[in-house]
Amino acid sequence: MGGRVAVAGASGYAGGELLRLLAAHPDLELGPVTAESSAGRPIAELHPHLAGVPSLAGRTFDAAGALTGSGCDLTFLALPAGQSARQAADLGQDTRLVDLGPDFRLADAAGWDRHYQGPHAGRWVTGLPELPGARQRIRAATRVAVPGCYATAAILALAPLAAAGLVEPDDVVIVAASGTSGAGRSLRPDLLGSEVMGAVSAYQAGGAHRHTPEIEQALGEAAGQVKGDGAGGGGWLVSFTPLLAPMPRGILAT
């Protein structure tokens, strides 16, 4: 068996997908799997698609304290905004971390303040190995921040064009449709099936969505700036309109 990994916040959609990938990985052993409000509940109860996975058979979610002293080689954080920074501080600098949440994605504190609550925690290495030089930076890092879902779709499509100088930085227009799982598992009336079926609706149009500064930051870096500043990304200005589509998962970005 290879490395031992833990997952914090495994009860959500991102956590469930992460468990599926880790359980199928031939070189990884799954350690503690925590879920604060669902501790003690069977994993398969919240993630029925994992019921037949042998390494997860009979397992329940652990309490958050199980991460401390777990001896894992790597810990994934699949937590809501603002919680990963606190968890990272509790685990200390000796623990290798990959954050699936937004806490460590942005270099610019002003960009963070416009879209999130709480103090800006700083930036970790961006976990998108397809970007130039990123694979080496990720390999050498002990802290990695995974980009957001919309941001990943847009950056992968636009970064090569930005690097080649084929995009005008002051007029980038993105329209992207996403499924309802992107909003998480919390019960919200606007995400109920009866509300979303049969229609596509725009929300947080223009530049109001929290993934906009991530995209501007990445495009500024791809084009050769030292960093994006989250407020135009070193001259990059993105007009981003997200759409909620009646599907459980997936993104179509234009």
> Does 149 qualify as catalytic in the annotation?
yes
- Positions of CATH 3.30.360.10 in the chain: 150-253
Per-residue pLDDT at 252? 96
Per-residue pLDDT at 234? 64
- Positions of CATH 3.40.50.720 in the chain: 3-147
Catalytic one of 85, 149, 222, 223: 149
Per-residue pLDDT at 140? 96
Per-residue pLDDT at 229? 40
Tell me the CATH number for domain 150-253. 3.30.360.10
Per-residue pLDDT at 185? 82
Q: pLDDT tens for the chain, 254 residues: list them.
A: 579 999 999 999 999 999 999 999 999 999 999 998 899 999 999 999 999 999 998 999 999 899 988 889 999 999 999 999 999 999 988 899 999 999 999 999 999 999 999 999 999 999 999 998 999 999 999 999 999 999 999 999 999 999 999 999 998 999 999 998 888 888 888 888 888 899 899 999 888 999 999 999 999 999 986 444 444 456 899 999 999 999 888 999 99
Per-residue pLDDT at 153? 97
3-state secondary structure the chain: CCEEEEEECCCCHHHHHHHHHHHCCCCEEEEEEECHHHCCCEHHHHCHHHCCCHHHCCCECECHHHHCCCCCCEEEECCCCCHHHHHHHHHCCCCCEEECCCCCCCCCHHHHHHHCCCCCCCCCEECCCCCCCHHHHHHHCCEEECCCHHHHHHHHHHHHHHHCCCCCCCCEEEEEEECHHHHCCCCCHHHCHHHHCCCCEECCCCCCCCCHHHHHHHHHHHCCCCCCCCCCCCCCCEEEEEEECCCCCCEEEC
CATH architecture entry for 3-147: 3-Layer(aba) Sandwich (3.40)
Per-residue pLDDT at 1? 58
